[in-house]
């Protein structure tokens, strides 16, 4: 029986989440609590038994899923378009056809066994500094379109490890809603979207923001 489901997981607590200071020197690293959360979600993630794991290129997302990958000997695909987006107060919504160049994604040597960079429509680079809301929303739409193709192709179930602003909008697109970001995602909060096999393209929100850990 085809499962056809997507799990959206927000990364564990970062230093920036803890302190509210989101400068580039610290907000990518996990806090002490975030590291405990990443260790604690290994068993719950194993119970999902997904076909593929898709991860934001940002350190806090990679570090969240890495203990699970190490424990299970699985690998994850880094998707550039899953980087955080749409945190802006300006919600200008227009399709962006060309993207500014950012830094190339270069994974540390000790992560080569866990991750592969798998670009598609979006180039293998980090989001450039100063990205606007509309460009971020275009990236989320690209991720959505790519996920739909995966579900129509080799995969029945996907785990997406990303961010607090991106995940709600991606969930809404998967549910055929306008991407306004209505759903909150706490650190290690999990959302499951599934499609009953007898009701093709009639998706349902099974649960939203269920925490995987009490840490």
Give the DSSP per-residue string, 153-214.
Answer: TT-SEEEEEE-TTHHHHHHHHHTT------S---TTEEEEEE--TTSTT--EEEEEEEES--
Q: At residue 1, does pLDDT exceed 50?
A: no
CA dihedral 52, 208, 61, 21 (to 10 degrees): 170
Neighbours of 200 (CB within 10 A): 10
What is the domain partition of the chain in residue ranges?
A: 7-156
CB 78 within 8 A of CB 115: yes
Compare 123 and 161 and report the one with higher pLDDT: 161
Specify the pLDDT at position 24: 60
List the one residue out of 134, 145, 196 whose CA is nearest residue 170: 145
Q: At residue 82, does pLDDT exceed 70?
A: yes
Calpha distance 109→48 (Å, rounded): 28
Q: At residue 87, does pLDDT exceed 80?
A: yes
Q: What is the mean pLDDT of residues 22-31?
A: 72
- Grade residue 22 by pLDDT with cuts at 50, 70 and 90: low
List the one residue out of 161, 149, 162 whose CA is nearest residue 121: 149
Highest mean pLDDT among 11-20, 67-76, 98-107, 114-123: 67-76
Q: At residue 72, does pLDDT exceed 90?
A: yes
Calpha distance 191→43 (Å, rounded): 17
Mean residue pLDDT across the chain: 89
Specify the pLDDT at position 162: 97
Q: Which fold has domain 7-156?
A: Rossmann fold (3.40.50)
Q: At residue 16, does pLDDT exceed 50?
A: yes
Calpha distance 26→194 (Å, rounded): 35
Read off the pTM: 0.93
Q: What is the mean pLDDT of residues 180-187?
A: 91
% of the chain at pLDDT higher than 70: 94
Q: At residue 67, does pLDDT exceed 90?
A: yes
Reduce the DSSP state of residue 7 to 3 states and report it. Answer: strand
For the ranges 12-16, 21-25, 150-154, 183-187, the lowest mean pLDDT is seen at 21-25
- Grade residue 25 by pLDDT with cuts at 50, 70 and 90: low
Calpha distance 193→176 (Å, rounded): 12
């Amino acid at each position: 029986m085809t499962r056809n489901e997507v799990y959206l997981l927000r990364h564990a607590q970062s230093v920036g989440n803890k302190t509210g200071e989101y400068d580039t020197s610290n907000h990518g690293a996990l806090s002490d609590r975030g590291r405990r959360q990443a260790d604690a979600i290994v068993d719950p993630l194993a119970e999902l038994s997904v076909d593929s794991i898709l991860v934001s290129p940002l350190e806090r997302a990679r570090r969240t899923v890495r203990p699970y990958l190490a424990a299970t000997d699985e690998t994850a695909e880094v998707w550039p378009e899953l980087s955080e987006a749409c945190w802006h107060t300006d919600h200008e919504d227009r399709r962006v056809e060309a993207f500014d160049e950012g830094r190339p994604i270069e994974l540390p040597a000790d992560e080569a066994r866990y991750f592969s960079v798998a670009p598609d429509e979006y180039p293998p680079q980090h989001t450039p500094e100063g990205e606007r809301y509309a460009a971020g929303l275009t990236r989320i739409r690209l991720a959505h379109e790519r996920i739909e193709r995966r579900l129509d192709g080799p995969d029945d179930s996907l785990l997406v490890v990303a961010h607090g602003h991106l995940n709600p909008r991606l969930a809404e697109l998967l549910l055929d809603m306008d991407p306004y970001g209505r759903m909150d995602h706490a650190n290690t909060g999990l959302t499951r979207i599934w499609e009953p096999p007898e009701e093709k393209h009639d998706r349902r929100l099974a649960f939203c923001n269920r925490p995987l850990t009490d840490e």
